[in-house]
Amino acid sequence: RYHYLLLQITLANEGKADKPPVNVFNTVVNTCEVCGEEDLTVKVLDLMRETLETEGNIITFNIALKRLAKAGNVLACEGILIAMLNEGIEPNVVSYTTVIGACAKTKNAPMASVWLQRMRSRNVSPNYHTYNTALAACLDGKLESTFIASKIATEMVEDATRELACGLKGIANYKSALPDTYTKFLGRELMKQLRENWRNGDIDMALAKTTTRVPLLKMVDFDKEIPQEALNSIQCDLPEDDENESSDQDYEFSLLAELHKDDHRTAMV
């Protein structure tokens, strides 16, 4: 693909063809990343800057995020998001989920929670991919991380309940917060972690069962059949669907699938 890209650029320089668009460069960059050709990745990105006079689009940045997340480099991921904002590109749910993937790679539950807050502050709603990845970051055996997981579970159940009450605007794979089978697997693992926490004397068992475990259990037992009175009490305010945001969602979530394929399904994508 790299040599074909070079041919396209040569023909464009000779006036015999149009310049290859950004998405062609993205495909080649992602192929280089998958194959571990980091030096070639840099060459392709340089070619894109020279040919199109651009740093790329949101997919380009998300590919760069993926490389850093695979290394667990949370700080560098933050730098990429800052660069996106400086380029006038608003990070999307894939961008934030990938950063949280870096937190999961290093089992950094506090930072995973921070990034959930940051994405909400930019009016980007977490989906079940995001929540699963954040929950996976909490599986490190620490009581503090179990507390964080309990808080994340509360937020996920709230979002999922609101989704059932108000409906979903957009593509489910991109927008939905409903717990899936992997969510429930993570919830059960986190409850086992909580059990080990109280066995180790880190927390009183009765207290753990009546506080920290409750949201995790609600998440594991989450049912799509919510009592009507509970649904009626929820105020709905659905955001407008961003067509540009959803257009490349299959491709972008495939990047996350590749990111986590060797990490015990850190994100179920």
Given a cut of 80, whether residue 176 has pLDDT beyond it is yes
d(CA 244, CA 210): 44
Over residues 216-220, mean pLDDT: 97
Given a cut of 80, whether residue 257 has pLDDT beyond it is no
d(CA 181, CA 38): 35
Closest alpha carbon to 253 in 128, 134, 157 = 128
Which residue's structure tokens are 């790679």? 105
Given a cut of 80, whether residue 134 has pLDDT beyond it is yes
**What is the structure's pLDDT at 87?**
83
Closest alpha carbon to 208 in 146, 157, 131, 155 = 146
d(CA 154, CA 159): 9
**Could you write out the DSSP letters of every residue in 95-108?**
HHHHHHHHHHHTT-
Tens digits of per-residue pLDDT, 13-71? 888 888 988 888 888 888 877 777 767 777 887 888 888 887 778 888 888 888 888 88
Structure tokens at 149: 């997981």
Given a cut of 80, whether residue 163 has pLDDT beyond it is yes
Q: What is the three-class DSSP state of 41? A: helix
Structure tokens at 70: 């695979």
Least confidently predicted of 40-44, 176-180, 230-234: 230-234
**What is the structure's pLDDT at 241?**
55
**pTM of the predicted model as reported, rounded to 2 decimal places:** 0.81
**What is the structure's pLDDT at 269?**
39
d(CA 178, CA 131): 10
Closest alpha carbon to 105 in 127, 143, 137, 78 = 137
Which pLDDT band holds residue 174 (cuts at 50, 70, 90)?
A: confident
> What single-letter amino acid sits at 46?
D
Given a cut of 80, whether residue 215 has pLDDT beyond it is yes
Helices (H) and strands (E) in the chain, counts: 16, 0
**What is the structure's pLDDT at 238?**
60
**What is the structure's pLDDT at 44?**
81
**What is the structure's pLDDT at 211?**
97
What does pLDDT average to over the chain?
Answer: 85
Tens digits of per-residue pLDDT, 89-132? 999 999 999 999 999 999 999 999 999 999 999 999 999 999 99
Over residues 73-77, mean pLDDT: 90
Better pLDDT: 239 or 66: 66
Which pLDDT band holds residue 264 (cuts at 50, 70, 90)?
A: very low
